[in-house]
Copies of this chain bind each other. A is one copy, B any other.
């Protein structure tokens, strides 16, 4: 039997959504106030899931301590209280929409967490983005 375990972690970050190849009018038309020049920000919640069989000795799919450390070091430490446009190496040159941010986090974490099966990134209480294996 396959079981999925999910860890939720939070971070706060700033961003400005815009396409550098477009002028301000075009950016505002597509992105609305998300393209305001000085940026804004969110409290993000990130949920990472790993699916696999339950180990008979530990009763676990994966040790949550390990999962937590990996997410903390690879992602949270790099984005928390940062500007996604200016401060985060893995977002360099990438428009920080929630979709693009989720995609990059997936690329990084799925290499460190072999059974990773789902990522949910909440940008606000009404908007979220999800990637499934």
Contact = CB atoms under 8 A, between A and B. Distances in A.
Interface of A: 1-10, 12-15, 17, 19, 30-34, 36, 38-43, 49, 54, 57-61, 63-65, 80-83, 85-87, 94-100, 102-103, 106, 124-132
A65 B9 CA distance: 19
A65 B32 contact: yes
Given A30-B63, A102-B3, A87 B127 contact: no
The CB with the most chain B CB atoms within 10 A, among A2, A4, A61, A131, is that of: A4
Contacts of A58: 19, 30-31, 95, 97
Given A3-B130, A59-B97, A102-B3, A124 B10 contact: yes
Contacts of A54: 97, 99-100, 103
Nearest to A94: B59
Contacts of A103: 1, 3, 54
